Amino acid sequence: MDLPEQARARYDALLAVADRTVVGLDFDGTLAPIVDDPAQAHVHPDGPAVLARLAAQVRAVAIITGRPARQVVELGRLDDVADRLSPGAELLVRGQYGHEQWDSTTREFRSPDVPPGLAAFADELPDLLAAEDAADAFVEDKGLALAVHTRRLDAPADAFARLEPRLADAAERHGLGLEPGKFVLEVRSPGMHKGHALREVVATTGAGGVLFGGDDLGDLEAFEAARALGEQGLPTLLVCSGSVEEQALADVADVVVPGPQGMLDLLRRLAADAAAR
């Protein structure tokens, strides 16, 4: 894979501190293909082997996602990855944008209480969907959040545009926040996002470098956090898993790769280059 000149310089700087680098990764669209049924979004077949190989060369691999941590561990086959890890290697999950935690050492899940207001929002939601001619939208209960998917509707983009202001208003009334994504609108507790989660992982691991890979609007805060860490002197590399549905990250990334396969190719290369040093 050829990297643009500026990206190559950033890659080389990160490679020089690979053993102190945290690799942060989104899940959907980054490690797993986007599919109509979120419950079927399994990790790319090459994913577990690449993650295990990479974790042996870096400070930690952290999957930072809007999905529940338990779901990511299952869909990502992360228990299998944990079984493959060499001594000292570490795999972390920060689910629900950082609210939930899991690690390959203890394999324990830690999660806060369900946010106040979510039950009342859930009661109101069917009427909100019906009022915008979106009663058939798929509603995913994430435990700490509710996600409304418009992908399965006849005109998903139109339904998304109609629903976004209505759900944002309802979320605010119930003390919640709205997170838009690729044909999905997620309502959850405010005040936590992937940028906070990435900073927490960097701080707790004592990282000396950061790579973050993502594909959607919810990853922008992590990109911004990584860029800020770069301005403080940490080598950083921002990687966009490209798609035709969302271009926001491509404009701010150091390098754009073709979907999960491209992301895994880059991570495989990083692991190999780090091992060869």
> Residues 202, 171: one domain?
no
Q: What residue numbers bound the domain in which 175 lies? A: 118-188
- The pLDDT value given to residue 246: 60
Q: DSSP assignment, residue 224?
A: H
pLDDT beneath 50: ranges in the chain = none
> Residues 88, 40: one domain?
yes
With 0-12 / 13-18 / 19 or more C-beta atoms within 10 angstroms meaning exposed / middle / buried, residue 6 is exposed
> Residues 215, 161: one domain?
no
> Residues 50, 145: one domain?
no
> Residues 13, 34: one domain?
yes
> Residues 31, 147: one domain?
no
Name beta bridge partners: 24: 62, 212
- The pLDDT value given to residue 245: 62
> Residues 51, 97: one domain?
yes
> Residues 78, 15: one domain?
yes
As for how many domains the chain has, the answer is 2
The CATH number for 263's domain is 3.40.50.1000
- The 10s digit of each residue's pLDDT in 212-270 is 999 988 899 999 999 999 999 999 999 999 876 667 788 899 999 999 999 999 999 99
> Residues 92, 125: one domain?
no
> Residues 200, 83: one domain?
yes
> Residues 243, 215: one domain?
yes
- The pLDDT value given to residue 118: 95
Q: Are 183 and 150 contacting, i.e. CB atoms less than 8 angstroms apart?
A: yes
- The pLDDT value given to residue 146: 96
Measured CA to CA, the distance from residue 195 to residue 142 in angstroms comes to 20
- The pLDDT value given to residue 242: 87
Q: What is the pTM of this model?
A: 0.86
Picking from 188, 210, 226, the residue at the C-terminal end of a domain is 188
With 0-12 / 13-18 / 19 or more C-beta atoms within 10 angstroms meaning exposed / middle / buried, residue 168 is middle
> Residues 25, 70: one domain?
yes
Picking from 188, 210, 230, the residue at the C-terminal end of a domain is 188
Picking from 172, 188, 204, the residue at the C-terminal end of a domain is 188
- The pLDDT value given to residue 248: 78
Please tell me the chain's helix, strand, coil percentages from 3-state DSSP, rounded to the nearest 5: 45, 20, 35
